[in-house]
Amino acid sequence: MEKILEGLIQKNRHLIQKGHVANYIPALSKVNPNYIGLAIADVDGHIYCAGDYNIKFSIQSISKIISLMLALIDNGEDYVFSKVGYEPTDEPFNTLYKLDLNSCNPANPMINSGAIITTSLIRGNKDEKFDRIIEFIRLITENPNIGYNEEVYLSEKATGHKNRAIAYLMKAKGYLDGEVEDILDVYFKQCSVEVTAVDVAKIGLFIARRCPLNLDSKINNERLASIVTAIITTCGMYDFSGEYAAKVGIPSKSGVGGGILGTIPNKLGIGVFSPALDRFGNSIAGYGIMKDLARELNLNIF
C-alpha cells in the first residue's frame, strides 16, 4: 500500500509547478511549495503514509468541519440548520453579496460566512470556544500536541477584512449572535491550528467510523457523521465541489493551507498535504492524488 501512495506522490508532484501557495497573508506565503505528503488511516487501525506526511501546516478551512461538528454536538441539527443552510453554492468561499441581496442565512457551513456562524454556535465564551475546538481536534486525532500557529493567527486577524465585513453584515442582518470581534478571533485562531497529513487522515477516519465518541451531545453519532459526509460532498471543495464529486467521488474538504481531508464511510480517512493551490483554493497536487487514489483503490462513491 505504501508503495502505491509513494507512486501517486511521484506521479502528481509535477502539478506543483502549476499552482501557487496562498498569498493573502504573509505567514502562508512563506510555506515551501514543494511539500507533498499523504496518509491513509483505515477502520482496522492501519495507517499508511508517504512523502511529507509529518510536516505541519495550518488547517484553514478543514477546521470548518470541526466547528460544524461542535455546533451540532452543542445545539442539535435543527437549531444549527435554522442558522445556516445545507445548500451548495456556485459562489467562492468568501462570497458576501447574497447575504446582502437575498436576506437569507449563509448557504452552507463550508463557506466562510457559514463557518463563522457555526463557530458562534459553539458553547462558551471566546476562550472556552477555542479550548473546545483544540481539545476536540486533539481527541479525534489522538494527538495531544496539536496547537495553533501564533504568526498565522495574528496575520489572519490583522488582514481578515473580508471576513470582518461578512461578520458585521451578518450582525447587521441579525444572523449572528454574540460579540463580532470575539467570534472572529476564535475563527481566525481555529484556521491557524497546525496539523499533519496523518492528523487529517485521522479526522477523516473519525467521520468514517461514524464518530465513535461518548460525548454529551444533542445529535447521535451516526447522524453527525452522515451530515458532515453529505455536506462536504456537496460543498467541501469550494466552487469546484461539483466537478470534484464527478471526477473524484471521495467526500472531501480542502483548506488553503494545502490540506485535503477525505472520508469513505465505514472504510477509511485520507489526509493529503501539498501547499500549491489551484484557482479555486484547492491543493493542485492534492487534487491529482485524490483523483488517482479514487481510481486505484476504487473509492469513488458514485
Positions touching its own copies (CB under 8 A) are 81, 85-91, 95-98, 100-101, 107-108, 161-162, 164-169, 171-172, 180, 226-227, 229-231, 233-235, 239-243, 245-246, 249, 251, 265, 300-302
Q: What is the spatial distance between Cα 103 and Cα 18, in angstroms, rounded to a whole number?
A: 39
Active site annotation includes 256: yes
Report in angstroms how near the CB of residue 27 gets to its own copies at its nearest: 18
Q: Is the dihedral of CA 249, 195, 209, 128 positive or negative?
A: negative
In the complex with its own copies, the residue whose CB is nearer, 90 or 216, is 90
Q: At what angle do helices 221-235 and 197-208 cross, to 10 degrees?
A: 120
Active site annotation includes 187: yes
In the set 187, 189, 195, 253, the catalytic residue is 187
In the complex with its own copies, the residue whose CB is nearer, 58 or 108, is 108
Active site annotation includes 152: no
In the complex with its own copies, the residue whose CB is nearer, 33 or 236, is 236
Reference 194, options 21, 26, 56; nearest CA is 56
Active site annotation includes 61: yes
Report in angstroms how near the CB of residue 34 gets to its own copies at its nearest: 30
In the set 64, 157, 189, 291, the catalytic residue is 64
Supply the Cα-derived Rg of the chain in whole angstroms: 18
Q: What is the spatial distance between Cα 159 and Cα 277, in angstroms, rounded to a whole number?
A: 20
Report in angstroms how near the CB of residue 101 gets to its own copies at its nearest: 5
**201 to 66, 196, 208, 233, 291: CA distances (angstroms):** 14, 9, 10, 16, 16
In the set 80, 186, 256, 272, the catalytic residue is 256
In the complex with its own copies, the residue whose CB is nearer, 1 or 165, is 165
In the set 21, 31, 61, 153, the catalytic residue is 61
**254 to 23, 100, 149, 280, 290: CA distances (angstroms):** 16, 26, 19, 10, 11
**232 to 55, 130, 178: CA distances (angstroms):** 24, 22, 27
In the complex with its own copies, the residue whose CB is nearer, 20 or 171, is 171
Report in angstroms how near the CB of residue 233 gets to its own copies at its nearest: 7
In the complex with its own copies, the residue whose CB is nearer, 105 or 196, is 105
Report in angstroms how near the CB of residue 297 gets to its own copies at its nearest: 15
Active site annotation includes 254: no
Q: Within a 13 Å sphere around the CA of 245, how many CA atoms are in the beta-carbon half?
A: 17
Query: Residue holding cell 476562550?
Result: 127
Report in angstroms how near the CB of residue 228 gets to its own copies at its nearest: 8
Q: Mind telling me the catalytic residues? A: 61, 64, 187, 238, 256
